[in-house]
Structure 1
Amino acid sequence: MHYLIDNYDSFTYNLYQLIGTQTSEQITVVKNDAIDVETLMKENPESIILSPGPGRPEDAGNMPAILKAFLGKVPIFGVCLGEQAIAQAYGAKIIHAPHLMHGKPSTMELQGNDPLFANCPQHFQAARYHSLVVDPESVPANLDVTAITDDNEIMAISNPTDLVYGVQFHPESIMTDPQVGQQIIQNFLNIVKANNKATSAI
């Protein structure tokens, strides 16, 4: 079962629908203050997805605590606020973006060969809705920067060892190249499947 933590954002169900186009497995949506770490541990999720949302990560209900509790235990995918929460959990700082980006597309440029972006083009258009970004000066050694804008703002991060991935842009938006949005979700689900297979073999 996949758990989608809803950070009170209008895009949560767009993300839910996009995930649903790529899997028939159950996706449970729960508000960030309606479930705690202990309860979610009992549910034994196969993945956790962190939705976009307003404000700062530390103000998003139980989401930061859930994230820290599950880091390295199950695959995690964060979008926008979810990506910022991932960065913060690893020790990076969240700062005001140089430019407000609310409902504007930008060109993403991939860095390296992260599995989240397998079969995606090196450059693609994606929607941005944010006023905060990950401070590039604060990114720790255990986080990879996997996508940037043409002015070097961080647009995606990962810790492949922990199977943790985050994107600042919105793969579920109609302004994002739809093939890329679908591919990113499919890639994450493939990561989850591979982890399930490896875990069951132990």
Structure 2
Amino acid sequence: MILLLDARDSFVHTLAGYLRELGREVEVVRTHQVSVPDIRSMAPEHLVLSPGPCTPAEAGVFVPAVQAFHGRIPILGVCLGHQAIWAALGGGLRAARPPLHGGATPVMHGGHSLFREIPAGFIGARYHSL
């Protein structure tokens, strides 16, 4: 079962739908209505942390869940969820001002395999509130 922790973002239902299309059982739980022991008792095979309108520190069980399950089960974070993984593992976050919702920005990369089929310079869309 994939446990999808919902930080009150409408995109969580889209994520759940895509995961179900892959034939997976998905349980959606609000991040402020569950604890690490609750998650442990649910025995998820994967953990997905949703987007949301706050910071990782304000996202309920996100950071404690990453700390508890890191290295034990796969964890995917989307937007806020990705930031929460970074924060839980000791990374620092600071607000980028101003927030940018849909801005186009030139992106350069050094040819890392992650970008294997993407040109070295491209225009990427940015969307962030933090």
TM-score of Structure 1 vs Structure 2, range by shorter chain: 0.7 to 0.9
Larger radius of gyration: 2
Deviations 1:12-43 (A, max 9, x none): 1122222233x111011110012111111112
**Is 1:5 the equivalent of 2:5?**
yes
Change (3 A) 1:20 1:52: same
Change (3 A) 1:37 1:90: same
Which residue matches 2:95?
96
Q: TM-score, normalised by structure 1?
A: 0.55
**Is 1:64 the equivalent of 2:67?**
no
Distance 1:10 1:49 in 2: 15
Secondary structure of the structure 2 residue equivalent to 1:68? helix
Q: TM-score, normalised by structure 2?
A: 0.82
Give the paired residue count: 127
Secondary structure of the structure 1 residue equivalent to 2:3? strand
Aligned-residue CA RMSD (Å): 2.4
Amino acid in the other structure paired with 1:58: A
Which residue matches 2:49?
50
Contact 1:109 1:122 survives alignment (8 Å): no
Contact 2:64 2:88 survives alignment (8 Å): no
Distance 1:47 1:16 in 2: 13
Q: Which has the higher strand share?
A: 1
Change (3 A) 1:28 1:96: same
1:112 shift after superposition = 2.8
Secondary structure of the structure 2 residue equivalent to 1:17? helix
Contact 1:58 1:64 survives alignment (8 Å): yes
Distance 2:73 2:101 in 1: 31
1:125 shift after superposition = 7.0
Gaps of 5+ in 2: none
Amino acid in the other structure paired with 1:6: D
What aligned pairs does 1:180-199 form with structure 2 within 5 A after superposition? none
Which residue matches 1:136?
none
Contact 1:57 1:64 survives alignment (8 Å): yes
Change (3 A) 1:62 1:104: same
Which residue matches 1:163?
none
Contact 1:3 1:45 survives alignment (8 Å): yes
1:92 shift after superposition = 1.1
Change (3 A) 1:15 1:113: same
Secondary structure of the structure 1 residue equivalent to 2:33? coil
Change (3 A) 1:127 1:7: farther
Change (3 A) 1:127 1:48: farther
